[in-house]
Amino acid sequence: MAENSSALRIVGPTRLAGEVTVTGAKNSALKLMAASLLAPGKNTLYNVPQIADVDIMSELLTRMGCTVAFDRATLTMEIDVPEVPGHKAEYELVRKMRASINVLGPILTRVGIAEISLPGGDAIGSRGLDFHIAGLEALGATISFEHGYIIATAPNGLVGATFELNFPSVGATENLMTAAVLAKGTTTLYNVAREPDIIDLGEYLIAMGARIEGLGTSTLTIEGVDALHAASHSTLPDRIVTGTWAFAAAMTQGDITIKGGRADHLEIPLDKLVATGAVVTSTADGFRVRMDQRPIAVDIATLPYPGFPTDLQPMAISLNAIARGSAMVTENVFEARFMFVNELRRLGANITVDGHHAAVSGVPLLSGAPVAATDIRAGAGLVLAALVADGVTIVEDAFHIERGYPNFAANLRALGADVTVI
């Protein structure tokens, strides 16, 4: 779908009820695709989500010499990687998606040179590449910036090192992991990210022949190997999509069974939903969220995993906007994540922002109005708010949402919402 071409028309208020199936995680699938560059031959990924960002990453890998085949019916992707992949990632693709930076580590360690355009993507904060660069330099890379590109070289290969991240950055952890698996010697990384996506990537690398210890902890020990081989791996379910449906059930006083959802990846968000009055129960292949009353306002502070995910913060604000009472939502990860609050106010939300705090006073019902999505999660948060707004809400720039939520409008309709793609 072309940028700036789609909007969602939502008629509320509505109650969501039924069943929805969660597929592979966006934040994992894109990194698995990038990591495939580490091994020549045919890598196979299962449970790959049908989203726009997967198409962008496929195009990026194709331009680097790979052959990518995606069977949308079975969500299976085959990536045939050449003996010597290309080493340049062009601006026109990288600007559309920050995850493009994840080809930096694999290409640098495999080819000895990488030229990656500085990334674009969501407008949610600076998220500089300082940690990526400092870590790669610790492994022996020489890095410079020319004409909008990061140019990283290691003509004699990378060398194992000890490095501590100042902040448990997911992207930097992933780039350093993928760089270290082919470095000479042992690399020890401290204060790394612990997200399920990191474990998923690590398990894929191990299937390719990498030697990694400490997955799921804040310290990784990686023993470099001479070469990796092609492998198969199934993407873990998307915990942010799962969490979005859980919040949707609570907000709309609904009842949604989330098939494929991993409750163990969402312990803190689900505890917060229980505090709002929701009932969460396990099912054979997921879990169910039911709400029989207007939600009770709940304070939330985002933190790196296993804390409350910053990607669910817009949903938390939207829920508090229609809850009983007042609550404080504190953003500790991305400084610009409150950009969408102005859009939420257009629907009648009572929110005051002070620095990285948002004070939200609930109102019984929001009011439909035209709004615009500024990023993937803000877009989803606005759609959830539209479901509890009286009348018609038009969410412009809905192409953002499609970058992270497969078949979002169709899934909403199946749960009883009145949603039309414009």
Give pLDDT tens digits along the chain (422 positions).
Answer: 344 458 999 999 999 999 999 999 999 999 999 999 999 999 999 999 999 899 999 999 999 999 999 999 999 999 999 999 999 998 888 888 878 889 999 999 999 999 998 875 444 344 468 899 999 999 999 999 888 889 999 999 999 999 999 999 999 999 999 999 999 999 999 999 999 999 999 999 999 999 999 999 999 999 999 999 999 999 999 999 999 999 999 999 999 999 999 999 999 999 999 999 999 999 999 999 999 999 999 999 999 999 999 999 999 999 999 999 999 999 998 877 888 999 999 999 999 999 999 999 999 999 999 999 999 999 999 999 999 999 999 999 999 998 899 999 999 999 999 999 99
What was the pLDDT predicted at 194? 97
Q: pTM for this one?
A: 0.94
What was the pLDDT predicted at 128? 67
- Counting residues of the chain whose pLDDT is more than 70, the rounded percentage is 97
What was the pLDDT predicted at 337? 81
List of domains in the chain: 8-22+237-421 (3.65.10.10), 26-234 (3.65.10.10)
What was the pLDDT predicted at 5? 55
Averaged pLDDT score across all residues of the chain: 94
Structure-token match 């410079």, residue found: 144
Q: Which residues are catalytic?
A: 122
